[in-house]
A and B are shown apart, each in its own frame.
Chain A
């Protein structure tokens, strides 16, 4: 196994298949096993809270942390633009409007910085 280029080409498809399978299983398993089952009430309540929790856990670190290793940074344009974008979303309840508004503000912010 010398010459990384050759190694990549030989193994590439197997690596992709492996990556694909381990990505697919977590996406597939809960759908097949949970969608046909009577779920206990507490679990239904838990699943009902997951979207709010996971969206917040996905987005907030992107907005206020940066670098590797990560550090807190409250002055990032991503965060500064997110504040008016959030207010716009609350006021208008419009997804299309919010996306366009956010993009426009970010474009402005990038120009100004």
Chain B
């Protein structure tokens, strides 16, 4: 059943791509409808950012940062793990250059996500792309890419989703800095919102045997590398290697044979 579905989806995907550009803007859709789609679509991220943002705010406040400084960081940097590490390096008295280099290496993985998103954002102006780029995070990428593939999604909805998530992040981090320690940690399993979202979006990505094989290889590689090397470079190394292997597999005769059976 799954292989039948896969060929159908693959054909459908190619077909829609040829008939209309993927980023086509329906002219008869109002901005209010688009904003509603984007805001509603962002809810799992907002929930997750609320949990992590509050935690970040509390830690930053304890390290001596004011709510204003926390909000400014969330606005200018807008990257979860890099902000946590940035705060700890700053309060340990690290120099500006090491902090900036560390931030760069932590966030380099977004390059892969933007590359993947670019296939859904064809023929847009540099201004629009630049606006969109600001909001590319692990979470917004995962959600947008699934929504783009499902159809009924365009760059404007994706932008609203990004900015809604961004706003949730800024508000939660500042709230944490103001008095987040009074909010019980882990209430209602909120800490698990993003993990559950990623698990589900990963399932949605497995649109055929090849995707599943690539995901399994990437996962095993990532775990192995994460145990061997410090930092988070394992994410890039594992996903680049697994996707490259996947392309070779797809183009090899062996895999073509297993595919043809469907």
Across the interface, A53 reaches (CB within 8 A) one of B69, B104, B218, B227, namely B218
What does DSSP make chain A's interface, helix, strand, loop or mixed?
Answer: helix
Stretch from B25-33, B163-171, B175-183, B208-216 forming part of the interface with A = B208-216
Identify which of B100, B113, B215, B220 contacts A52 (C-beta below 8 A).
B215
B34 within 8 A of A: no
Residues from chain A with a CB closer than 8 A to the CB of B201 are: 55, 95
Give Cα A4–Cα B222 distance, bound, in whole angstroms. 37
Min CB distance B147 to A, Å, is: 10
Distance of A28 Cα from B113 Cα, bound (Å): 10
Question: Among the listed A30, A59, A101, which residue makes an inter-chain contact with B111, where contact means beta carbons less than 8 Å apart?
Answer: A30
Give every chain A residue within 8 A of B205 (Cβ-Cβ): 51-52, 55
Closest to A60 in B: B219
Inter-subunit contact B93/A4 (CB<8 Å): yes
Chain B proximity mask over A27-66: 1 for CB below 8 Å, otherwise 0? 1111110111001001011111111111111111111110
Are B111 and A26 interface neighbours, CB within 8 A? yes
B114's partner among A7, A31, A63, A71 (CB-CB below 8 A) is A31
Tell me if B256 counts as interface (CB < 8 A to partner A): no
Residues of A within 8 A of B138 (CB): 58
Known contacts A16-B76, A61-B234; is-contact A11 B133 (Cβ 8 Å): no
- List the 3 closest pairs (A to B, CB-CB), nearest first: A102-B196, A107-B189, A106-B192
